[in-house]
Amino acid sequence: SASHDQNVVAVMHQLTDMWPVPSNTGRHENYQPLPITEFEEDSRPDHPERNMDSSKTFDDKNERIVFSVDRPAYNHRAFDEAFSYSLPPHLDTLGLVKSKVTHCKCSVNCFLNTFVSLIPILGWIRQYKIKSELLPDIFSGCTVAIMHIPQGMAYAMLANVPPIVGIYMAFFPVLIYLILGTSRHVSLGTFAVVCIMTGKLVDTHSSSGDVSLLTHNGTITEELTPIQVVSAVSLCVGFIQVIMFLFRLGIVSVILSDLLVSGLTTGAAVYVITSQIKHLLGITVGKHKGWGILFYIYIDIFSNIGKSNVATIVVSVITVLILILNNVVLKPLVAKKCHKFPLPIELLVVIVGSVISKYAKLETTYNIKTVGDIPIGLPAPKMPPVYLLKDIILDCIMIAFVAYAITLSMAKIFVKKLKYKIDANQEWFAQGMANIFGSMFSCAPVAASLSRSLIQEKVGGRTQLASLVSCILLLVVLLLIGPFFETLPTCVLAAIITVALKGMLMQVMDLKRVWGRSRMDATLWLAPFLASIFLDIGMGLLISIIYSLVVLVARSQRPYLCKLGKLEGTEVYKDSALFRQAQDVSGVKVVQFNGILHFANLEHFRESLCSLVQMVPNQIIEARKRKTLEANKDLVTSRDVLMNIAVTPTMPHKDKLSVSLNNLSQAPVDVHYIILDLSNMGGIDSAGVDVLLSLVKEFEEIDIFIFIVVPSGPADAMLSACDFYKKLNPQQVYSTLNDALHWAAVRPDEQEEKMKIVYSP
């Protein structure tokens, strides 16, 4: 009524006056609360039930708002009719295709938008702010270029190719990625894990372990150089990544969780450091193939440790100590003085090491192995040996996924921090084309570097223009000063790799952190780590992906069900296992389902529901049948006895038997209704719908009626598509838990009579 609405408005105005406004809110002194619009009376005669009474009061004693709502209790059908619910239009596959074709407009703008999405640089370059972004990008590009030189040369050794290949990898593929990539901050180039996986293929398929061999004589032979193998690997990886783009498989990135990537890269770090021990000690280690090669490598190391080169060990130890001293002491001091320009200690070590080795003649005097010949200029483009692709494709699939996962993980870190968007599917295309282009110039597969990417962002890089600046500086190195590094000892590069991987090894602390939270999550870290060490990196990735899927399935097989109880003095219902004050409603069991109901977890759902309500309908039905048969036998026996004895009017046996038979038709507990709250259901399949209908029928056979609180979204649409609601009485389906509980409050005998009415839509 109008008078009631006016009273409500008066109460709400009173509340506004009573509510204290803090003095430190920063509001203007003349601040006034927004006026409250008076409720308009619903003039539609067909929905008188929509008039609701609501009121609020402020409890000064407890400093809380107390509210109450007076409205009709709706079943699901009445609720939908009252508030004009309508299902979204359902289109089958053919209808969806027709809709896309109908709305497709091949306009110039549509073509340009598609073209820009494939070449993202055309989008962000138009919005580039020269005054505010150019200098930070130049500064960042110079810093990253300095880091590329020692890291590129060092990590190229992991792939068993000449160190100069690492510089090639920092130049050619990066030119393509800055045009096609969507991340503004990742630094593409050499990455330890990808290089070590590539190095295994080089060991397997190359004719020589001499990584100083750069050229091929041009004749057709069965022998392949390391350069030819890495080029073929890069080409194959690029093809795989482009195919992933064409099939729109950017969604597979969700399988590669942070824990999985952490465990995999930690295991790979152990493998990488192990591979550098031979360079640190100056010994020779044989080639090994197959699973568990890590253990064979250590057997060779300990077998040949007596042949170590003392001079090589001294140079390695000095280099490691310098790098550690920089990380612990010098880097923090420099960061305080000049936080935007990190001390390029790796580059300084490379320069000093090259100079000392040249003038002290370390190679000839102390037999310390050096980098060797580094050609001047750019390599001529050359097609990789395509016939090798069929032999390496399985390993290349692993490399393609690892490179993509690492790069995308780094990109997501910057997206989260700097609030811009990337396209996971476009990243497949960008990396794939970068690898295909790089394969023509003797490059191994590339990925984003953790350290370089972080430095590129930290120093101030805003866009991929920083990568262009880096490429320009590296071009100068390739054309002019490459031979300067020919005398650099390989043990210096090995020391740089070992110290740089400390961060990856420290990822083992992730296991300790996660172990205390969830043992299941901890196994997601352990699976790739142990598989990488005991088998190999490729198998580690495969096993970790499979195990990740198994964990997802296992978790979906055990959705959480709980019994809800009412908190005294409130209309709130909470998990009675967690809230000790939650009390069961008389004659009603309320069970809440959380998760997705599908064919794989139906048994768990049924068993959990029966356990929570403390009854199994099928067992009760069978027990009743057995007791009925026993009662009938007792009745027959009693009749036989009565034929031979005198019957008196006061014989009590028949009355007791009658009472016993009547008790068989009653539920074993004082429960009339089960309210199944599906409001937290995320989805359901047709098998789940069948189980819900089966449970409703089974409980009805023992005179217990199930009320359904409907879900929303896809689950509700699926239930409607399967005619689930039409197969139930309207009084069994509700939109909210409170509505269901209010209807359950009707006297059981009256409600049961309503349930017996067969509903036909």
**pLDDT, tens only, 215-239:** 444 444 457 899 999 999 999 999 9
Q: Which residues pair with 447 in a beta bridge?
A: 189
Percent of the chain residues past pLDDT 70, beyond the cut: 77
Most confident residue range from 128-142, 361-375, 419-433, 493-507: 419-433
pLDDT attached to residue 664:
37
Over residues 635-646, mean pLDDT: 53
pLDDT attached to residue 572:
83
pLDDT attached to residue 26:
38
Residue 399, sorted as left (phi over 0), alpha (psi -120 to 50) or beta, turns out to be alpha
Q: What is the CA radius of gyration of the chain?
A: 37
Most confident residue range from 214-218, 236-240, 378-382, 701-705: 236-240
Most confident residue range from 357-361, 550-554, 625-629, 653-657: 357-361
Domain 560-615+667-755 in CATH 3.30.750.24: yes
Over residues 488-498, mean pLDDT: 85
Q: Is 459 exposed, middle or buried (0-12, 13-18, 19+ CB in 10 A)?
A: buried
Percent of the chain residues past pLDDT 90, beyond the cut: 16
The Cα-based distances of 338 to 88, 142, 277, 327, 332 in angstroms read 59, 16, 35, 15, 10
Tokens standing for residue 689: 């719908």
Which residues, in sequence order, are CB contacts of 470 under 8 Å at separation 6+? Answer: 141, 142, 144, 145, 148, 170, 174, 187
Each residue of 37-93: pLDDT tens digit? 333 334 333 444 444 444 555 555 555 666 676 777 777 777 777 776 776 666 555
pLDDT above 70 for 747: no
The count of C-alpha atoms lying within 13 angstroms of the C-alpha of 642, restricted to the half-sphere facing its C-beta, is 13
pLDDT above 70 for 95: no
Strands 673-684 and 588-597: parallel
pLDDT attached to residue 587:
83
Decide which of 541 and 431 is more confident.
Answer: 431
The CA dihedral of 166, 171, 176, 180, to the nearest 10 degrees, is 80
DSSP 3-state assignment of 712? coil
Tokens standing for residue 108: 């110039």
The Cα-based distances of 371 to 157, 174, 495 in angstroms read 9, 24, 14
Tokens standing for residue 450: 């953790």
Q: What band does 654 get if pLDDT is binned at 50, 70 and 90?
A: very low
667: DSSP letter: -
Q: What band does 154 get if pLDDT is binned at 50, 70 and 90?
A: confident
746: DSSP letter: S
Q: What band does 22 get if pLDDT is binned at 50, 70 and 90?
A: very low
Polymer length in residues for the chain: 761
Domain boundaries, the chain: 2-72, 130-214+222-552, 560-615+667-755, 619-639+655-666
Decide which of 506 and 313 is more confident.
Answer: 313
Q: What band does 356 get if pLDDT is binned at 50, 70 and 90?
A: very high
Q: What band does 640 get if pLDDT is binned at 50, 70 and 90?
A: low
The mean pLDDT of the chain is 77
CA 270 – CA 584 distance, rounded (Å): 56
pLDDT attached to residue 87:
64
CB atoms within 10 A of CB 209: 13
Q: What band does 23 get if pLDDT is binned at 50, 70 and 90?
A: very low
Q: What are phi and psi of 419, to 5 degrees?
A: 60, 55
Tokens standing for residue 379: 């390599």
H or E element, residue 112: helix 108-118
CA 728 – CA 755 distance, rounded (Å): 9
The Cα-based distances of 175 to 188, 435, 461, 749 in angstroms read 10, 11, 17, 79
pLDDT attached to residue 339:
60
pLDDT attached to residue 45:
39
Most confident residue range from 150-154, 217-221, 278-282: 278-282
* DSSP H stretches of helix in 679-726: 686-700, 714-721
pLDDT attached to residue 342:
63
Tokens standing for residue 519: 């043992």
CB atoms within 10 A of CB 753: 10
pLDDT above 50 for 422: yes
Each residue of 431-480: pLDDT tens digit? 999 999 999 999 999 999 877 887 787 767 788 898 999 999 899 888 88
pLDDT above 90 for 501: no
Query: Cβ distance 41 to 5 under 8 Å?
Result: yes
The residue assigned the tokens 């130890």 is 317
Decide which of 63 and 519 is more confident.
Answer: 519
Query: Cβ distance 152 to 169 under 8 Å?
Result: yes
pLDDT attached to residue 433:
96
pLDDT attached to residue 375:
78
pTM of the model: 0.67
Each residue of 320-332: pLDDT tens digit? 999 899 888 887 7
Tokens standing for residue 483: 């031979």
Tell me which of 337-351, 380-394, 480-494, 702-716 is least confident.
Answer: 337-351
DSSP 3-state assignment of 566? strand
CA 253 – CA 516 distance, rounded (Å): 26
